[in-house]
A and B are shown apart, each in its own frame.
Chain A
Amino acid sequence: MGEFFSFLQNNLADFWSYTGFYNASPGHIAMLVIGIVFIYLAIAKEFEPMLLIPIGFGILIGNIPFNMEAGLKVGIYEEGSVLNILYQGVTSGWYPPLIFLGIGAMTDFSALISNPKLMLIGAAAQFGIFGAYMIALALGFDPMQAAAIGIIGGADGPTAIFLSSKLAPNLMGAIAVSAYSYMALVPVIQPPIMRLLTTKKERLIRMKAPRAVSHTEKVIFPIVGLLLTTFLVPSGLPLLGMLFFGNLLKESGVTRRLAETARGPLIDTITILLGVTVGASTQASEFITWDSIKIFILGALSFVIATTSGVIFVKLFNLVLKKEDKINPLIGNSGVSAVPDSARISQIVGLEYDPTNYLLMHAMGPNVAGVIGSAVAAGILLGFLI
C-alpha cells in the first residue's frame, strides 16, 4: 500500500513538473501581462482591434510556461508543432504578400490616378524609414537590424514583418508589435506635428476636385504599376506583385468573386494566423530586452520623421505649383501608409479649420502611394543588404 502511495506521489510530482505553475518565470508573467494589456487596449480603447486581439492573445499562447525538455511539441519554436507549422508563414514570408493581395483587392487607386503628383508625397514620407535607420545605427544596431527597425516608419505591418523576418528574425516580434502599436496611435502622433508645421492659411487651401477616372485607367494602373516598380526593384516582387494583382482582380470587373475572396475571407484568415503567430513568437527572453525598448523609441521617432517629411515636402512642393494646383499640406501626413487612418487624420484636422473642406479623397492618394512606397523601400533594403 505504501508503495502504491509512493507511486501516486511520484506521479503527481512528475505531473506538477509539467505544469505552467512549476515552469513559470518572471519573464513569462511579464509577457502575459503585456498580452492582457494589448487585449485591453484593443477591446476597451479600440486600438487596432483586428490586430491587437490576435497579437495579444498570441502573446498569451506563446508564453504559457511548460517543460521545454519534455518534447511535447507544443511550443512555437518546436519543430513539427501546430504553432510551428502556422509560424512557417511568417518565417518563410508568405503571410505578408497574401495580406497585400487583400489590400490590393480592397484599395481604390482612383485618387492617385486622377492626381498622380500625389505619389511624390508617398515617396517623401518614406524618409521616416531611413531616418530611423540612421538613428538605429547610431544606437549600435548593425545595418540589417537597423533596416528592419527602420521599416516601422513605413507604417505597414505586413511589410515590417516581411522585412524583419528576412533581416533580423530575432527582433521580428518587437518590430511587429511596435509597428502595429504606432499605427494604432496615428491619431495621437500625427495631428500635433501637422498643426506645428503648417500655417492657418495653408490649412485652408482648397484642392481642385479630382477628375473622374475611367475604367481603362483603373485596369492599366496595376499592370503598369507592377511593371515599373518591379523592374526597378525586383526584390519587392512578393509584396508589389500581390498588391497589384489584388488590385487588378478588383478593377478588372470580371473577377468579382476572386476579389471578394481576396479582400474578405482570405485576408481575414491570414490576419488571424499572422497576428496569433507573431504574438506567440514573442518570448520573454527575446522580447523583454533593452533592444525592444530601443525599438519602441525608434518606432515612435520613425512615425514622427515620416509625418514631418510628408508635410514639409508638400510645403516645398507648393512653391513650384500653380496657385490652382496647390496642395493642402495637411494631407502630407497621409504619405505614412497606415491606410486609411492617416488619410482620415488629414480629413479630421482639415475640418477643424474649415468645416466644408473635405480632404479625405485627396489624402487617399498619398496614402495608397505610401503603401507602394514602403513596399518599394522594403525591396530596396532587401536588395542592398542580402
Chain B
Amino acid sequence: MKTSTNFLLKTGTTTLLALTFFTLSAFSVKSQIYIGDKSTISFFSATKMENIDAVNSVSRPVLNTKTGAFAIQASQNAFIFKSAFMQEHYNENYVESEKFPFATFKGKINETIDYTVNGKTNVTITGDLDMHGVKKPRTITGVVEVKDGSILMSSKFDVKVSDHDIKVPSLYIEKIAEVIQVSFNAELFPMKK
C-alpha cells in the first residue's frame, strides 16, 4: 500500500514537474518572438528633376526579444509606386526582381532592452543588408518602443544605389538620386502559434 502511494506520488510529481516545465519553457520562448503584422517600408528618391517614392506594406519583420536578433524580408514586387510605369522599371531595370526577388536585412540590436516595461529606446542594429544580390554590413539607428505588450520599431536610413551594384544609366542620373532614403515603421506583436 505504502509503496504504491509512493509510486503514484512520485509519478504524479514527475509528470507535473515535466508538464510545468514544458509549458513554461514553450510559453516563455514563444513570447520572446515578436512578429510585425503592420509594417511599412518606404523609400524616397529626391532630385531636382523628379521625386520617386514607393511603399511596401506587406513585409513581416521578426524580432527575438531575448537575443535581440531581428530580420525582415521585403518582396521587391510588393513596392507600390504612384506610377505603374516606374514600378515596372524598378523591377525590370534596376533591382531585377526576377533574379533577386527580395531585399533582406538580418541583424542584432546592440542595446539591451527591458521589454516588460513601457518606454522608448534609441537603438543601433548591426547586420547585413542584402539587396540586388549584394550583401552590405550595416549599422542602422532606430527607435524601439515598448507599448502595452506590443513593440513599435522605426528607423530611417540611407541606401547608396551603387553600394548594391544597381546601375543608373547616365541618361537618368538627374532623375534618380544616388542615395535613397528608406524609412521603416512596424508594430510587432507576440507570435501566436
A pairs with B:
no
